[in-house]
DNA sequence: CTGTGGTCCTGTATGC
DNA sequence: TGCATACAGGACCACA
């Protein structure tokens, strides 16, 4: 579930935990979350000892923790990843996959039930890990240009939802905020990009930025800064979402029942009146 | 290059 | 009650 607002909440929480801290020891408890560390789990455990973290950074849904020698630890939360800070003596949370003992006596833990997420070392990745070069700027990036992205989108024939979920066009948007953005912009998810104007598409992207910014405010106030609820559809989302997960409930604009439809092995929610099929 | 659909994971919910 | 199946979905990859 974690999309840009949740990942940014984790990033800012991590900043207070790891910045300036030196690693004393790393433990890999399950090999899968370090699968993208090609030298293997043993190498990952040994590689970080004695190295110091800088301030965590983010692009889209990817995080990276710069190291003082120019390398970086890259992290992705996948569906269910969490970072937790605790004392080493505290019992491990279920599904704890990797731990780092830090030089202030705290222990950083990567917890991930479904293991779609992971962590790995990126040589020379402090400024921007090479593995993230194909990831586009996200709508919070000062360099993000909605019109430029819109121009690329309207040249494509795929459905608009698939396009805004394409992290090489715009990053940070996942299934929930895609539906929320499309609802705000009154666009059907399967409208071909080529059937949209640059103006309308740029507006959609600005809606995406706005809805994620509004969610980020909730994430920063009602949650522990290091805690992201695994049950993404519960908690504050129920109050703040307009369309996602609201099958059968009245559209907040027109009152018609929200419908849920299968889309690329997942669900899409839309208002049948505000977001009719194109053509 | 572009579009499409499959795959990886496990806990929870639902159905027979 | 118990077992099987569906579902959640971000990133990546194979294939046409």
> Could you read off the pLDDT of A20-78 as tens digits, one per residue?
999 999 999 999 999 999 999 999 999 999 999 999 999 999 999 999 999 999 999 98
Q: Is 80 exceeded by the pLDDT of residue A233?
A: no
Q: Is 50 exceeded by the pLDDT of residue A232?
A: no
Place A218 in a pLDDT band, splitting at 50, 70 and 90. confident
Q: Give the pLDDT confidence score for residue A228 in this predicted structure.
A: 53
β-bridge pairing A81-86 and A72-76: unpaired
Taking the C1' atom of B3, which residue's CA lies nearest? A158
pLDDT digits (tens, 9 = 90+) for A190-202: 999 999 999 999 9
In the CATH scheme, what is the homologous superfamily, with its name and number, of domain A4-132?
MutM-like, N-terminal (3.20.190.10)
Under CATH, what is the fold of the domain A146-270?
Helicase, Ruva Protein; domain 3 (1.10.8)
| CB within 7 A of strand B (chain A, 30-69) | 32, 35
Domain boundaries, chain A: 4-132, 146-270
Spatial CA neighbour of A216 closest among A177, A184, A252? A177
- Point out the nucleotide closest to A158 (alpha carbon to C1′): B3
Angle, alpha carbons A8-A213-A228 (nearest 5°): 40
**CA distance linking residue A274 with residue A106, whole number of Å:** 51
pLDDT digits (tens, 9 = 90+) for A112-129: 988 889 999 999 999 999
């Amino acid at each position: 579930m974690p999309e840009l607002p949740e990942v940014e909440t984790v990033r800012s929480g991590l900043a207070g935990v790891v910045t300036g801290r030196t690693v004393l020891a790393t433990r890999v408890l399950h090999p899968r979350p370090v699968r993208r560390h090609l030298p293997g789990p043993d190498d990952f455990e040994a590689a970080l000892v004695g190295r110091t973290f800088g301030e965590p950074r983010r692009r889209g849904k990817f995080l990276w923790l710069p190291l003082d020698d120019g390398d970086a630890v890259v992290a992705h939360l996948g569906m269910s990843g969490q970072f937790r800070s605790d004392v080493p003596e505290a019992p491990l949370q279920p599904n704890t996959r990797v731990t780092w003992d830090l030089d202030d006596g705290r222990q950083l833990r990567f917890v991930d039930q479904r293991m779609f997420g992971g962590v790995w070392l990126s040589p020379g990745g402090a400024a921007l890990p090479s593995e993230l070069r194909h990831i586009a700027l996200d709508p919070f990036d000062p360099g993000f240009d909605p019109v430029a992205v819109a121009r690329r989108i309207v040249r494509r024939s795929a459905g608009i939802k698939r396009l805004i979920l394409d992290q090489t066009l715009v990053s940070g948007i996942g299934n929930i905020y895609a539906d929320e953005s499309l609802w705000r912009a009154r666009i059907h998810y399967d409208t071909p990009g080529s059937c949209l104007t640059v103006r309308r598409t740029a507006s959609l992207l600005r809606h995406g930025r706005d809805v994620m910014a509004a969610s980020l405010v909730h994430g920063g106030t009602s949650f522990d800064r290091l805690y992201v609820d695994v049950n993404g559809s519960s908690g504050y989302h129920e109050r703040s979402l307009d369309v996602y997960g609201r099958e059968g409930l009245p559209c907040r604009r027109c009152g018609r029942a929200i419908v849920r439809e299968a889309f690329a092995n997942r669900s899409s929610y839309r208002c049948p009146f505000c977001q009719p099929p194109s053509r």
